[in-house]
Amino acid sequence: MESKQSISLNIKEWAKELGFLNCGIAKADFLEDEATHLEHWLSQKYHGEMHYMENHFDKRLDPRLLVPGAKTVISLTYNYYTEKKQPEAAPKISKYAYGTDYHFVVKDKLQILLQKMQAHFGHIEGRCFTDSAPILEHAWAKRSGIGWVGKHSLLINKKQGSFFFLAEIIVDLEMEYDVQIATNHCGTCTACIDACPTDAIVGNKIIDGSKCISYLTIELKDALPTEFKNKLEDWMFGCDICQDVCPWNRFSKPHNEPRFEPHPTLLQMNRKEWKDITEDVFGTIFKKSAVKRTKYSGLKRNLEFLDL
């Protein structure tokens, strides 16, 4: 039987070979500190119309309820940063949605990693997740030593910034666990808070989701509230403002994932072409994209709200 240290080192090496930026390992346990925070966040209705956030409260705090007998949470990050941009005056899409939906790309790699673990270490019960289950991903990534949670509530790594997806593999195998980063390296910086046009960052690491541009343009299915008129700064799907202004993202480097490359038309369309976009063009550009979540009707709603 391999040592816990050897098991952890092997997994980290395989993760690197699969293209993951970071791999951190934490003991599967109850997230006691996060329980109070989550309860308060829900009580303030900061989740807006995302009623699913009220479900599975216990599972969000204890991974052993997702995988019986779980002993370890493996947290991973996958880079999506790109320096490619849409034309200056075009309505904007968040960088993470430029290419193929990350759920497919990252989940495929997680399954390969889990299968490799099972082939190498014998029978292991485990499940793979990337924004696809009631898991407090940022909390687990922090516990595993990958980074700290910034004032915008996103995970930040000193060497890579924050433009990456988070993913987890929960398994019933014991390993050597990483040490949580003790220091928050945001200091007195308030760049993300100051830059948010809708004042969605209402406290340190506290987001009023009902005011967040990403929520408004993606999650909200009803008409956009008039109070946000002229405050979306031309974002039609998602928003990168709080990350774009974060000083730590000067260390972000472009990804090398071919499936995240945008459809050529996406980087060419001007303001008028977006205004006149047809359902056929929408289907072609966003065939495998996360933008399909908002559907053609949702994107048109957002464009009309931007006066396009």
pLDDT single digits (tens) 223-267: 999 999 999 999 999 999 999 999 999 999 999 999 999 999 999
Burial letters 56-82, b for 16+ CB under 10 A, else e: eeeebbbbbebbeebbbbbbbbbbbbb
**From the candidates 131, 172, 178, 222, which is the catalytic residue?**
131
Share of the chain above pLDDT 90, in %: 96
Cα 95 from Cα 82, distance rounded (Å):
7
Please write the tens of the pLDDT for every residue from 123-143.
999 999 998 889 999 999 999
End-to-end distance of the chain based on CA atoms, in angstroms?
A: 63
**φ, ψ of residue 270 in degrees (nearest 5):** -95, 180
Q: Which residue has the tokens 């003991």?
A: 27
Please write the tens of the pLDDT for every residue from 38-56.
999 999 999 999 999 999 9
Mean pLDDT, rounded, of the chain: 96
Is 131 labeled as catalytic in the residue annotation? yes
pTM: 0.96
Structure tokens at 102: 């990350």
The confidence score (pLDDT) of residue 69 equals 96
3-state secondary structure 214-239: HHHHHHCCCCCCHHHCCCCCCEEECC
Q: Which residues contact 51 (CB under 8 A, 6 or more apart)?
A: none
What is the mean predicted confidence (pLDDT) over 176-184?
Answer: 93
